[in-house]
Amino acid sequence: MKHILPDLEYTYDALEPFIDAKTMEIHHTKHHQAYIDKLNQALENHDGLKTKTVKELLENLKNIPEEIREAVRNHGGGHYNHSLFWPMLKKNVPAQGKVIEAIKKEFNTFDSFKEKFADAAAKRFGSGWAWLVLNEERLEIISTPNQDNPVTVGKTPILGLDVWEHAYYLKYQNKRPEYIKAFFEIINWEHINRLYEHALK
């Protein structure tokens, strides 16, 4: 089983003006595709791993043969992170549902959640991701370097933001905080709510 690029559920210009169409197209067809190609390449001589989902590979990273562990971590992580990220994005979805109630409970107010999440995203040095995760029963904000995914440390991603420069540089150049601010306008809270309810089970 080869890993393949998932289709987007929307057109490349669907997130304009918050994320431009060109960035979306390159990000999906070039960057995401490259992670998949390199993951498939790494798994080429490891038939036992070819039946595993990318999530299973990342959950069990320590059991991956050492000679391909870094490749699976980076390229498998890149594939999984982006596969999670695309459906998290949609314009004009109101912030409501069980996950919003849980966010308010954990972070006092929705604004203070936004502030903490934006802070984690802004302070991630170099390339990486900011996440809202479920850790046991509680929501938590973390960030990860490179393409590391929270499942490797036993946490369930609920919301994620790609803060690699390739995610925003064409439109925002070095202004990562402006990209982070725009992100809050395009969160598909219906989808995030489904991820949260699923994670609770």
Rounded to a whole number of angstroms, the minimum distance from the CB of residue 11 to Mn ion is: 19
Residue number closest to Mn ion, CB atom: 162
Closer Cβ to Mn ion, 64 or 167, answer by number? 167
- Cβ(28)–Cβ(5) below 8 Å: yes
DSSP secondary structure string for all residues of 169-193: HHHHTT-HHHHHHHHTTSB-HHHHH
Pick between residue 57 and residue 167 the one whose CB is nearest to Mn ion.
167
Radius of gyration of the chain (CA): 17
Task: Using the minimum distance from each CB to Mn ion, give the nearer residue, 107 or 164.
Answer: 164
CB nearer Mn ion, residue 100 or residue 182: 182
The nearest distance, CB 127 to Mn ion, in angstroms, is: 9
The 3-state secondary structure of 56-117 reads HHHHCHHHCCHHHHHHHHHHHHHHHHHHHHHHHECCCCCCCCHHHHHHHHHHCCHHHHHHHH
Of residues 64 and 163, the one with the C-beta less far from Mn ion: 163
Binding site for Mn ion (CB under 5 A): 162, 164, 167
From residue 64, give the alpha-carbon distance in Å to each of 2, 81, 83, 152, 154: 17, 19, 21, 12, 16
Give the nearest distance from C-beta 101 to Mn ion in angstroms: 30
**Rounded least distance, CB 91 to Mn ion, Å:** 19
Task: Give the angle 84-162-90 at the CA atoms, nearest 5°.
Answer: 60
Provide the minimum distance between the beta carbon of 137 and Mn ion in the complex, in angstroms, as a whole number: 30
